[in-house]
């Protein structure tokens, strides 16, 4: 704790957190590999100030620069970082210098930078615990805060774009809940999960990647809303991870927290003891489950919808770099296993353009069937589950008459796989291709409209 306190308030000779600060965005940064992307990420937060979403003293960015010592031994760091960055040609390991020069140019964006060298790569739980604990301690050290319960915003360095009112919407969500919460009709929330998406350029180039990403988003949407049929039709231990069931009892709605766009009340984070340092992949998701467990009180109690501690905000959206998901996809790995090489630390060192550039693809039946199968195992769902049918309809692989509920068309069948389990077999891609063609300009219009300051 003493080390974190020193990092929170004593490192880098920086000013303390403003008494008027409402939100602190916590961003872990791999020191040796983010020199080409960190400035773009910081610019998204500065835009929140320049467009009037928040005042400079209402928001702070906490950057946790870290790296394992054994990785430092694997690279050669050339001299001349100041000139490289100043002329717009940073190397991946120039992260510190990019941040230093950015801060010198843009003092309106309040930043606190903490650094740590680990011996070897730690669990992700350790990394976020350092960052989130430091945020909570910085907030606690204030003399006369306007709000003692600062909002800890979990973001990462992959942010590519945000809604123009991103931070304002976040603050308003908590403020309105505080004004109206505390009753059975409107319980007090502990956190908010915002909408996440990838950029249109990636989706145009990789339509199978786009389709399977939307498929998972449609499953997740039903999970959040508590639609009937979202529960698995087979035990999760037989179906894989059982993603939709982990951390909740059957019948509960569930909003999956993650490290790209989730906000917690600092008091809720501290009440559960912070992040679990024994967890690597999924530590941010587990943190949400910890808060839910704490609110539930006992393990055999279902949380009714009006007592659930998290809410979802579609207007608090951001676009994130698809480098991890797309990188694995381009290797032939399914999107549902995008984090299976987490510990390899192999997505760093390239710019956004370098990550998404190169070859293109066309819609492919075999690839989609494989992707859908892995995604269903991840969520612990059978192919004939009602929630899966809905997702396929929304995706454009089927359409029903709203009155008769009979299929107008159906471009897939549920058939047994080699082991006899149900699987999705796609019979026609024409309607899916049409839907994708319509989705792309619609996505661009949504972004354009929501980017207008209000």
Q: Are 170 and 22 in contact (CB under 8 A)?
A: no
Alpha helices (H) along 51-165: 69-72, 81-86, 95-105, 124-140
Q: Which residues fall within 8 angstroms of residue 276, CB to CB, at 6 or more apart?
A: 125, 283, 286, 287, 290
Distance of CA 190 to CAs 33, 168, 273, 275, Å? 33, 17, 14, 15
pLDDT tens track, the chain, 454 positions? 677 777 777 655 578 999 999 999 999 999 999 999 999 999 999 999 999 999 999 999 999 999 999 998 889 999 999 999 999 999 999 999 999 999 999 999 999 999 999 999 999 999 999 999 999 999 999 999 999 999 999 999 999 999 999 999 999 999 998 888 656 566 789 999 999 999 888 998 999 999 999 999 999 988 887 655 544 444 443 433 344 444 344 556 788 999 999 999 999 999 999 999 999 989 999 999 899 888 877 655 666 666 789 999 999 999 999 998 998 899 899 999 888 777 655 778 778 788 777 788 999 999 999 999 999 998 888 899 888 999 999 999 999 998 998 999 999 999 999 999 999 999 999 999 998 888 755 444 444 433 333 3
Strand 262-265, strand 151-154: pairing: antiparallel
């Amino acid at each position: 704790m003493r080390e974190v306190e020193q990092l929170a308030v004593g490192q880098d000779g920086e000013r303390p957190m403003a008494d008027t600060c409402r939100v602190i965005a916590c961003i872990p940064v791999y020191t040796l590999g983010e020199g080409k992307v960190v400035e773009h990420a910081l610019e998204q937060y500065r835009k929140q100030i320049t467009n009037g979403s928040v005042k400079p003293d209402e928001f702070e960015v906490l950057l946790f620069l870290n790296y394992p010592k054994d990785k430092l031994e694997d690279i050669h760091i050339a001299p001349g970082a100041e000139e490289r960055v100043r002329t717009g040609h940073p190397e991946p390991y120039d992260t510190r210098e990019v941040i230093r020069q950015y801060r010198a140019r843009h003092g309106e964006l309040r930043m606190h930078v903490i650094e740590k060298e680990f011996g070897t790569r730690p669990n992700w739980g350790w990394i976020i615990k350092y960052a989130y604990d430091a945020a909570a301690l910085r907030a606690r050290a204030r003399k006369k805060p306007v709000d003692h319960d600062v909002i800890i915003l979990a973001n990462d360095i992959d942010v590519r774009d945000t809604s123009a009112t991103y931070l304002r919407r976040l603050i308003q969500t908590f403020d309105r809940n505080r004004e109206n919460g505390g009753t059975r009709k409107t319980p007090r929330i502990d956190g908010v999960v915002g909408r996440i998406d990838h950029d249109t350029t990636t989706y145009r180039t990789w339509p199978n990647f786009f389709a399977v990403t939307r498929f998972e988003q449609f499953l997740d949407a039903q999970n959040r809303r508590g639609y009937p049929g979202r529960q698995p039709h087979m035990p999760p231990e037989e179906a894989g991870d059982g993603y939709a069931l982990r951390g909740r009892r059957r019948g509960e709605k569930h909003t999956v927290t993650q490290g790209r766009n989730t906000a917690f009340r600092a008091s809720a984070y501290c009440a559960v003891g912070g992040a679990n340092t024994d967890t690597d992949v999924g530590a941010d998701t587990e943190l949400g489950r910890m808060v839910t467990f704490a609110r539930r009180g006992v393990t055999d109690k279902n949380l009714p919808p009006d007592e659930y501690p998290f809410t979802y905000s579609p207007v608090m959206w951001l676009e994130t770099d698809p480098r991890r998901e797309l990188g694995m996809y381009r290797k032939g790995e399914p999107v549902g296993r995008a984090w299976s090489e987490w510990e390899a630390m192999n997505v760093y060192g390239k710019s956004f353009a370098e990550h998404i550039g190169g070859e293109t693809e066309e819609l492919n039946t075999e690839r989609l069937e494989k992707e859908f199968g892995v995604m269903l195992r991840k969520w612990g769902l059978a192919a004939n589950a009602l929630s899966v049918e809905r997702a396929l309809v929304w995706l454009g692989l089927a359409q029903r008459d709203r009155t008769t509920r009979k299929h107008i068309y159906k471009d897939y069948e549920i058939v047994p796989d080699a082991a006899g389990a149900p699987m999705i077999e796609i019979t026609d891609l024409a309607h899916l291709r049409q839907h994708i063609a319509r989705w792309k300009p619609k996505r661009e219009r949504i972004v354009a409209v929501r980017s207008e300051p209000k």
